[in-house]
Amino acid sequence: ELYQQHPEYVQLLIVQANASALNPTDKVIFIPEGTTPTLVLPGPGIVPTVDAGVTTTPADDGGDTSTP
């Protein structure tokens, strides 16, 4: 009966339960309402759908190789 008369209390309990489930190391993603995020989590059998095999060359270490 308490929940029926005070639905805002039920909402508070839901918010508290969700907040209590979070850990300091959890990552939270905020997105616009009505959209669905696309998440790609690494794991066995997961392959990129776009060529992500960008080849790079090591950056110069910044050492001066010129002679005086």
Q: Examine the pLDDT at 4 and tell me if it is beyond 70.
A: yes
- Please state whether the predicted TM-score (pTM) of the whole model is above 0.85: no
Average confidence (pLDDT) over 14-18? 93
What does the pLDDT read at residue 50?
64
Task: Please state, in angstroms and rounded to a whole number, the distance separating the CA atoms of residues 31 and 43.
Answer: 24
Q: Determine the residue type at 61.
A: D
pLDDT in tens, 24-65: 888 887 888 888 877 767 778 776 666 656 666 766 666 555
What does the pLDDT read at residue 66?
57
Task: Please state, in angstroms and rounded to a whole number, the distance separating the CA atoms of residues 29 and 26.
Answer: 10
Question: Contact at 8 Å (CB) between 35 and 43?
Answer: no
Task: Please state, in angstroms and rounded to a whole number, the distance separating the CA atoms of residues 35 and 32.
Answer: 6
